[in-house]
Structure 1
Amino acid sequence: MSQFLTLLQKEILEMWRNYKWVWVPIVFIILGVQEPLSIYYMPQLIDSLGGLPEGSVIEIPTPSSAEVLVGGIGQYNMFGFIITILLCMSLVAGEVKSGTAAMILVKPVKHGYYIAAKWVGVLLLLWASFFIGYLVTWYYTGLLFDWVPFDSFLGSFFIEGLWLTFIATITLFFSALFNVPGAAGFAGAGIVIILSLVSSSLAHLLEWSPGMLPTYASSYLLEDGLKQDGSMTIVLTAVILAILLFLAMRIFKNKELAD
């Protein structure tokens, strides 16, 4: 266990040196503040553009605070997805390519601890950054519109965070499978995009698909609770995460032994 903690400490320190603990939270904060501010000031923005016939009036219905938070989740689905892929695609493949992994594993270091430390380290960064950014979304939504109950905020945060964890884990899996970070990122992004499109198109058949997690995060806010299908999706996603992590460890160990 001490070996795992040492590797995890190395990951966290490395992310500090690469300023990931600075720029990732900042990006998530920008994403968090963007949705409530843009919706609140939309009438003024449209009016400042001009070009409308004299006397014309544009009436934009004021969304509910839950709908504003749902819009914020949409921002994280789009841009958070990209950030997660970029963070995870070189976790293993990048160190294999640079030779850093070989230097670490030449010591009596377990391959499973190596992968687990990578996984836990990047999740600490993702979850901390997402919480800060989403908390900003919740705060500004409360100031400009109305306050969403904090337990609803936490529930949707957990579900959306699980979706980002799924993206990170499947990208880490491909990073252990391929030696080229670009290939790992492309494969991870492709699987996630296909899963999201299929799940949204066949939602009535794939209620338990991990691709439904963003939908359940939104419905948790709008309907103030989680459906039974959403609970089963969380359980199934947790099982898939464990399988992917185990496979990443086995694949990486076998590749190293073969080399």
Structure 2
Amino acid sequence: MSQWLTLLQKEMLENWRNFKWIWVPITFILIGVQQPITDYYLPQIIDSLGEMPKGAVIKIPTPSAGEVLVQSLGQYTTIGVLIIVLSTMGIIAAERKSGVAAMILVKAVSYRSYLIAKWFGSLILMWFSFFIGYAATWYYTGILFKWVPAGDFFQSFFIYGLWLTVILTITVFFSAVLLSPGIAGFVSLAVIIVLSLVTSSLSHWLEWSPAQLGTYASEILLSKGISDYLLPTSLLAGLLLVILLVLSIVIFRKKELAT
């Protein structure tokens, strides 16, 4: 345990030196405040563009507070996922390529402790960034529109955070399997996109897919209640995390011992 904690402290310090503790949270905050501010000032933005026919009136329905938060989650699904992949794709692959990983592992450091510390350090950064970004969304939505109940906010936060955890773990897996950070990031994005597209296309047959977690989080915000499939989907997502981490350790260990 002491070895793992030491590696985790090293990872947290490395994230600070790489300014990840600055630019990742700031990016998530910008993503979070963008949607409620844009929705609120959209009529004024359209009016400022001018060149509208005289007497033309554009009526834009005011979205509900829940709809604003759902749209914000959509931003995290695109830009947020990209940020997670970009900030995670090199945590193992880059150190393997530079030889840093071999220097650490030769010092009686277990492969499991090394990889789990990497994963957990990135997980802390991701959850912290997502929380302050999503909290900013909730705050501005409450100020500009209407307050979403705190219970709905936290439920959607944890449900969607589990989906982001799956995304991060997929990226860590390919970072451990592949030597190039760029290729690891590309393959991770491809897998995530395919999983999301297949799930959305076959949603009635893939109710338990982890990619449905975003939908279930949105349903809570839209006052549709908690889906009956949320529990099995969450359990399947948890099982997927364990499988990916175990495979990451096994494959990473074999590749390092073979070099």
Which TM bucket (shorter chain)?
over 0.9
Distance 1:179 1:115 in 2: 15
Question: Contact 1:152–1:224 at 8 Å: present in 2 too?
Answer: no
State the shift of 1:255 in Å: 1.1
Distance 1:224 1:6 in 2: 45
State the shift of 1:168 in Å: 0.7
Opposite residue 44 of structure 1, the aligned amino acid is Q
Distance 1:103 1:257 in 2: 13
Distance 1:256 1:91 in 2: 15
- Give the count of matched residue pairs: 259
Deviations 1:41-76 (A, max 9, x none): 000000000011111111111111000000110110
State the shift of 1:223 in Å: 2.5
Question: Contact 1:29–1:134 at 8 Å: present in 2 too?
Answer: yes
Distance 1:138 1:25 in 2: 16
Q: Which residue of 2 aligns with 1:206?
A: 206
State the shift of 1:249 in Å: 0.6
Deviations 1:7-46 (A, max 9, x none): 0000000011111000101000100100000000000000
Q: Which residue of 2 aligns with 1:5?
A: 5
Q: Which residue of 2 aligns with 1:49?
A: 49
Q: Which residue of 2 aligns with 1:188?
A: 188
Q: Which residue of 2 aligns with 1:24?
A: 24
Q: Which residue of 1 aligns with 2:36?
A: 36
Opposite residue 77 of structure 2, the aligned amino acid is N
Q: Which residue of 2 aligns with 1:97?
A: 97
Q: Which residue of 2 aligns with 1:164?
A: 164
Distance 2:245 2:153 in 1: 28
Q: Which residue of 2 aligns with 1:230?
A: 230
User: For residues 102-251 of structure 1, what are the structure 2 equivalents within 5 Å?
Assistant: 102-223=102-223, 225-251=225-251
Q: Which residue of 1 aligns with 2:254?
A: 254
The ranges of structure 1 where at least 4 consecutive aligned residues each deviate by more than 3 angstroms after the TM superposition are none
Q: Secondary structure at the match of 2:189?
A: helix
Opposite residue 147 of structure 1, the aligned amino acid is W
Q: Which residue of 2 aligns with 1:67?
A: 67
Instruction: Give the RMSD, CA atoms, in angstroms.
Output: 0.8
State the shift of 1:225 in Å: 2.9
Q: Give the TM-score normalised by the residue count of structure 1.
A: 0.98
Distance 1:95 1:43 in 2: 49
Distance 1:187 1:105 in 2: 26
Distance 1:234 1:226 in 2: 12
Gaps of 5+ in 2: none
Opposite residue 90 of structure 1, the aligned amino acid is G
Q: Give the TM-score normalised by the residue count of structure 2.
A: 0.98
Distance 2:250 2:117 in 1: 15
Question: Contact 1:70–1:218 at 8 Å: present in 2 too?
Answer: yes
Cα 1:47/1:54, change in 2 over 3 Å = same
Distance 1:145 1:224 in 2: 20
Deviations 1:161-207 (A, max 9, x none): 11111111011111111111111111111110000000001000000
Deviations 1:118-175 (A, max 9, x none): 0100010000000000000000000000000011000111111111111110111111
State the shift of 1:224 in Å: 5.1
Distance 2:232 2:223 in 1: 17
Distance 1:250 1:167 in 2: 20
**Percent identical:** 59
Question: Contact 1:97–1:180 at 8 Å: present in 2 too?
Answer: yes
Gaps of 5+ in 1: none
Distance 1:241 1:48 in 2: 48
Stretch deviating more after TM superposition (63-72 or 221-230): 221-230
